[in-house]
Amino acid sequence: MKKTKSAIVVGSGIAGIASALRLRAKGYDVQVFEANSYLGGKLTKLTLGKYQFDAGPSLFTMPHFVEELFLLFNKTPSDYFLYKSCDTACHYFFDDGIFLPFYVNLNKTIESVENVLKIDGDPLRRHFEKSKFIYEKTSRVFLENSLHDIRTYLNKGIISSILALPSLSLFKTMNEANESALNHPKLVQIFNRYATYNGSNPYQAPGILNIIPHLEHGIGSFFPIKGMYSITTSLVKLAKEEGVIFKTNARIDKILIKNKKVIGVNSNGKIYKSDLVFCNSDIKPAYKNLLQTVKKPKKTLSQEPSSSAMIFYWGIKKQFPKLDMHNIFFTNDYKQEFDSIFSKSTVYDDPTIYVHISSKMVTNYAPANCENWFVMVNVPYNSGQDWGALRNQIKRNILLKLKKQLGEDIESLIEEEDYLDPIRIEERTSSFGGALYGASSNDRTAAFFRHPNVTGVNGLYFVGGSAHPGGGIPLCLLSAKIATKYISSLNN
């Protein structure tokens, strides 16, 4: 009788859960080891009194990558997971009083820009078309395949992608590409913001990152009916039904390797043998703590970490009709803000503020006539700063800015509060320095050549935001898809 092969997944972030499902679909016995008492990594939930918050990611695009996981088992995705399309992409607020709503529908967004900014909308339309062009020329080759595999470069689509390189703004910074294409500084600032979607600096990151706006405005922006955490709970439910075993409070002490072949893991002093190990841990702590005997990829490990975040979770005892689910209150000097984060490792006095209010969509996340505010400012990764002092400074500046913009004393409306800073993020997710996306994409090499999904150790694979193709829910799901392509199915 043929022995069933086994796989262990280190970490239950979205990439870890997706890897577990894909491995199970190939016939492997799968165990997921999670150091925390809860599952989901950054994609988890927080309850404060009568308020509930999605603790981490708040943007949901490309839902088909989630649905794929249910289809692997011939399940109907909507039996497990429901989501809906969003009409509004984001409400943008500027210090000069300009309020500019962006919609998912491109024509509606262009109409909004023309009415508010009194400019021709054609350059904006062409910029969105360029974003779509970048996506179509790069996504299948560079995002859905390993860039460390020679077979990727033999793909029939690679020639078209290579020929398109001069048109992809790879050799301009994101800011340079936006300034040359758009006809208003406020639009440049809005499009520069997309660099923060992978924790980068638009004044350094390559213009090819302008692929990101197409995800929201071309493919669409969505939100789960039961909140972002339902992505985790629905996939875990499926995984348990299919026989995946989850172990919580099960920190991995070491990934065991013999003769360049993975043989299992050591967790809490006990050895668990397996044929495969999928590591959904940040690569820097993984090499430092779990893979001490493995040759380290020095160039990859030396890449600049992405930005982190200071997040406040506020239960607000009032509703604000002018605010939507996603809201941005911009700084007056975006370049100075990014310079503070990436060059000075501190926070600018006039930070850009993101306010996410999921109770606009999930009404039971807040009491009647109240709202749950997830208030975030981009900050540097932890390198020894005094985060207690910075937290107080950031909170003070947030409250001043919001009071000016909204005409309300927000502090008096806060009845529940908690926070995340880089230290807490690192403690809870093992992200190096609390960096949210592994390496930043502040140069072309880092933007494309993250840590490979396949390693030089037979049976060891890396998935998650610090591995190829990068951070954010869709890319983490793709990392699991890419890695498991290299695993033979036991069901055939």
pLDDT tens for 90-130 read 999 999 999 999 999 999 999 999 999 999 999 999 999 99
The pLDDT score that the predictor gives to residue 161 is: 61
pLDDT tens for 398-430 read 999 999 999 999 999 999 999 999 999 999 999
Quote the percentage of the chain above a pLDDT of 70. Answer: 94
Residue in 104, 129, 99, 130 with CA at minimum distance from that of residue 117: 99
Q: At a CB cut-off of 8 Å and minimum separation 6, what does 285 contact?
A: 430, 432
Order of strands, sheet of 326-329, starting from the edge strand that comes earlier in the sequence: 99-103, 88-93, 326-329, 353-356, 371-379, 308-316, 414-420
Architecture of the domain made up of 6-43+225-299+450-484: 3-Layer(bba) Sandwich (3.50)
| Residue 223 CB-density burial (10 A; 0-12 exposed, 13-18 middle, 19+ buried) | buried
| Residue 349 CB-density burial (10 A; 0-12 exposed, 13-18 middle, 19+ buried) | middle
Domain layout of the chain by residue ranges: 6-43+225-299+450-484, 122-220
The pLDDT score that the predictor gives to residue 137 is: 84
Is the alpha carbon torsion for 291, 292, 297, 302 positive or negative?
positive
Question: How far is it, in rounded angstroms, from Cα 274 to Cα 10?
Answer: 12
Q: Spell out, as residue ranges, where the chain has pLDDT lower than 70.
A: 1-2, 146-166, 445-448, 491-492
Q: Are the C-beta atoms of 450 and 438 separated by less than 8 Å?
A: yes
The pLDDT score that the predictor gives to residue 1 is: 44
Q: Are the C-beta atoms of 472 and 166 separated by less than 8 Å?
A: no
The number of angstroms, rounded, from the C-alpha of 397 to the middle of its chain's C-alpha atoms is: 26
